[in-house]
Chains A and B, each alone.
Chain A
């Protein structure tokens, strides 16, 4: 954005749906329709407040950039706040501020999204502004240049000032040897410096179109109201013919365990991270991604998880430990494990202990009690998610733009309930294979070799 560069939709219950057996609620009655120009629209009812959340999600992210122009999708997201032929710079934000609305935007590898939260009777205003900037963007060399400096500052804040973030960037690059997911969303510094107005506009004209976007409206509005407003605003924009299909270079079958090490004098607390190449909800066989979600929960969510209990509680060699699964992706997903050693434990010892925990799950599986607890938590998180219209809007839209159907999103809790302990074990055997992984070590530079500057 203006905010999140690399929004990792990590964690578990990122997919939510309404059919929640354990609750009395029927969940939100989400409706979906498509305008004649190809724009997909989702309406999520929330009758509790007079506020609406309006979001537009473009089906374009950093993985759709040309090689050599990393950061362009995110840079364009910043530039989308620079005004249009009809609305000069600042007018959208100032109008929104006067209405008491809030706004922001974010870019990931697979999508770029813009949102506003505003009183429901102002929905027409924000839809008109948002539709206007789908095609009307005007950029000058001056505002492109100062915004590029802003993005470079953003990169310094997020990455260059933080050794842990630099290691994460290197691990991601090592994990993907062919797919553009290996590039940082915010871009490599030297490539950000070379981005310009013409490139941004070309990217904009190529990807920003009604038939390449999803609009989500959550709040106290009917789908009829939304349809009427959408026809008046977005509906006037012409479909872009010949949209490029989103075919990214795919990964070869991985065969090597890779290691990345970052040594920096600033590291006072070493850390271990491991990332495995895994399927995503879109690419997985039925039930596989659900099993990975449950596996990440049993292995590394909270203080009774396998990793935490073994490394932190029983062995006392780690200060913390956990696991995550990032399955909301158009292409490959990722499964991660991390731990921080206590003083006196080396990263090698810690890594061996992590591998023992994973090997134990692969050899003997998980217990029925562990499975039941994990299912209860993931399904309950769907109920809790319904408390926030903004969260719901985000979950449904993220599902749609990463290739899932509304029905797949809705039935997620049922599919989680259907996973067996054996499937979880199989997921561990199949995917938590070192040949699919990158292991990262964050360490302090040994005193003798410390860089002087």
Chain B
């Protein structure tokens, strides 16, 4: 049942390059009888429903000595629940072609459900079981742990994984963000079924749930199903407070020796959090420096002009309790030092000179025009609506977003750059055999 309240209908204006081509899709904000808020887009084009949801408090809530707990919980929610053992549960899933997946991120435990309309009741029932009555049977816990451990052994010699893990360990010593989400070869064997139950009790609740749906279902029917799946969860979680933190070790470089022909480099430093008023200008700035098109400065300088790498990127990583600027590149061992110095120089240059007027106009034009590409499938629309909720941007954000980009001035970009790229100092991890010795602490 829907309480007839906040039926705020927003317009999901899928803005294309020209205004007269914008289509409008209505986002309905539903609050269910159990008080659960859902953002819903009704779309009967296909006989299916996509659900995206998250419980805030992800791997950052792992016990300090047991990193990997959230990841294991995510792996075990659908491995037996209620009266159904793991096999029976998966048979139900398969018989109705339901797609159910869970995953741990640093700040949230996420889930997604996709079902054909004709199986929606059973799909939401299976979701209810997974969320409210996971069994964490001993044999299943051991089995899922064995899979995670095999993945960790693989990661232990993968240069990209090593670089990323070492970067976070050095940047966030003693903080949950410094621990790998998957846990470690030491921690995972010690995580018990009771640890998983405790995590489940602490984190999976109604008040920290965010939920978005797209598909062939009316709001009133959806509200009933949502309450069936989520209504019996505890009202509030019991989350540990996470300390705000800025990344450490800035200015340091570390070489991790590995016998591979190509050095994998992870570089980064402080960025801006999503709530920061300068986040949008910083986002535009990063797009110009190392964002996702074939015209970023790093792409042109490192790949296009010099052929030093196949992939080169930078991005902003706005965690709940830390803002980060992170980038990566892979290049042959004997040119790793050269590649890194080009990256450092490009960061210095954009921080001191700012972008050209043309670059700024081009970046804004791309970011505005491409926004609609994030909304072209049910799952992507639901995912966007979920992200907007997780970032507390408001249900009208989709309508406001492009104006926020449009309003960014060269002065805004320079101000943002000064806040996190000013001294162009980075924490850098190099994994491989970078031939030329890389001097430490030289601003890079």
Contacts and interface: CB of A to CB of B under 8 A. Distances in A.
A48 B45 contact: yes
A156 B368 CA distance: 35
B245 interface: no
B309 A150 contact: yes
B307 A100 contact: no
A265 B153 CA distance: 13
A54 to B, nearest CB: 13
B99 A149 contact: no
A117 B97 contact: no
B32 interface: no
B118 A160 contact: no
Contacts of B114: 384
Contacts of A383: 46-48, 116
Given A100-B372, A267-B157, A388 B97 contact: no
B375 interface: yes
B157 A268 contact: yes
Range for the number of chain A residues in contact with chain B: 35 or more
B149 to A, nearest CB: 7
Contacts of A266: 157, 258-260
Contacts of A390: 376
A249 interface: no
A401 to B, nearest CB: 24
B310 interface: yes
B261 A161 contact: yes
Interface in B27-84: 43, 45-48, 50, 79
Interface string B300-312: 0001111111110
Interface in A139-162: 145-154, 156-157, 160-162
Interface of B is mostly: mixed
Contact of A94 (B47, B97, B362): B362
B150 interface: yes
Nearest to B78: A303
Contact of B47 (A25, A157, A319): A25
A373 B368 CA distance: 44
B181 to A, nearest CB: 18
Nearest to A389: B376
Contact of A51 (B16, B151, B367): B16
Nearest to B48: A383
A97 B299 CA distance: 14
A292 to B, nearest CB: 19
A90 B46 contact: no
A93 B424 CA distance: 29
Contacts of A234: none
Given A120-B16, A120-B21, A383-B48, A154 B295 contact: no
Interface centre among B118, B294, B309 (most CB of A within 10 A): B294
A168 B246 CA distance: 42
A145 B307 contact: yes
B82 to A, nearest CB: 18
Contacts of A147: 307
B259 A97 contact: no
B123 to A, nearest CB: 11
A376 B308 CA distance: 48
A278 B56 CA distance: 47
A120 B261 CA distance: 44
Nearest to A100: B369
Given A94-B362, A119-B21, A157-B330, A103 B262 contact: no
Contacts of B264: 161
Nearest to B306: A146
Given A157-B311, A320-B150, A146 B261 contact: no
Interface stretch (A106-114, A309-317, A405-413): A309-317
Contact of A100 (B17, B87, B90, B151): B17
A153 B295 contact: no
A47 B23 CA distance: 10
A102 B43 contact: no
B159 interface: yes
A340 interface: yes
Range for the number of chain B residues in contact with chain A: 35 or more
Given A90-B295, A146-B305, A377-B94, A156 B146 contact: no
Contacts of B153: 268-269
A156 B21 contact: no
Nearest to B47: A23
Contact of A161 (B147, B154, B311, B330): B330
A47 B44 CA distance: 12
A412 B204 CA distance: 41
A153 B376 contact: no
Given A302-B94, A342-B150, A146 B307 contact: yes
A319 B149 contact: yes
B332 interface: yes
A448 interface: no
A128 interface: no
Nearest to A103: B294
A242 B260 CA distance: 46
A182 interface: no
Contact of A153 (B151, B332, B369, B373): B332
A99 interface: yes
Contact of B367 (A81, A100, A265): A100
A157 B310 contact: yes
A214 B303 CA distance: 30
Nearest to A341: B150
A21 to B, nearest CB: 12
Interface in A216-260: none
A290 B116 CA distance: 23
A302 B147 CA distance: 13
B16 to A, nearest CB: 4
Given A156-B332, A161-B159, A376 B94 contact: yes
Nearest to A125: B17
Given A2-B294, A48-B45, A384-B48, A377 B307 contact: no
Contact of B90 (A94, A122, A157, A302): A302
B370 interface: yes
Contact of A146 (B23, B142, B304): B304
Contact of A150 (B116, B150, B156, B307): B307
Contacts of A269: 150-151, 153-154
B164 to A, nearest CB: 15
A386 interface: yes
Nearest to A189: B261
B307 to A, nearest CB: 3
A320 B87 CA distance: 16
A48 B159 CA distance: 42
B321 interface: no
A386 B43 CA distance: 13
Nearest to B380: A388
Interface in B349-371: 362, 365-371
B86 interface: yes
B436 interface: no
Interface of B: 14, 16-18, 21-23, 43, 45-48, 50, 79, 86-87, 90-91, 94-97, 99, 114, 116, 118, 139, 142-143, 146-147, 149-151, 153-154, 156-159, 258-262, 264, 293-295, 303-311, 330-332, 362, 365-373, 375-379
Given A302-B90, A376-B94, 20 more contacts: A22-B116, A22-B118, A23-B46, A49-B376, A103-B294, A119-B369, A119-B372, A120-B16, A154-B310, A157-B262, A157-B311, A164-B154, A267-B157, A268-B156, A269-B151, A302-B94, A304-B87, A313-B139, A319-B147, A384-B99
28 contacts: A50-B21, A97-B293, A97-B362, A98-B365, A98-B369, A100-B366, A101-B370, A117-B376, A120-B16, A120-B21, A146-B306, A149-B308, A150-B303, A151-B310, A153-B308, A157-B262, A160-B261, A266-B258, A268-B154, A269-B153, A304-B90, A312-B147, A373-B94, A379-B97, A380-B97, A383-B116, A387-B50, A389-B376
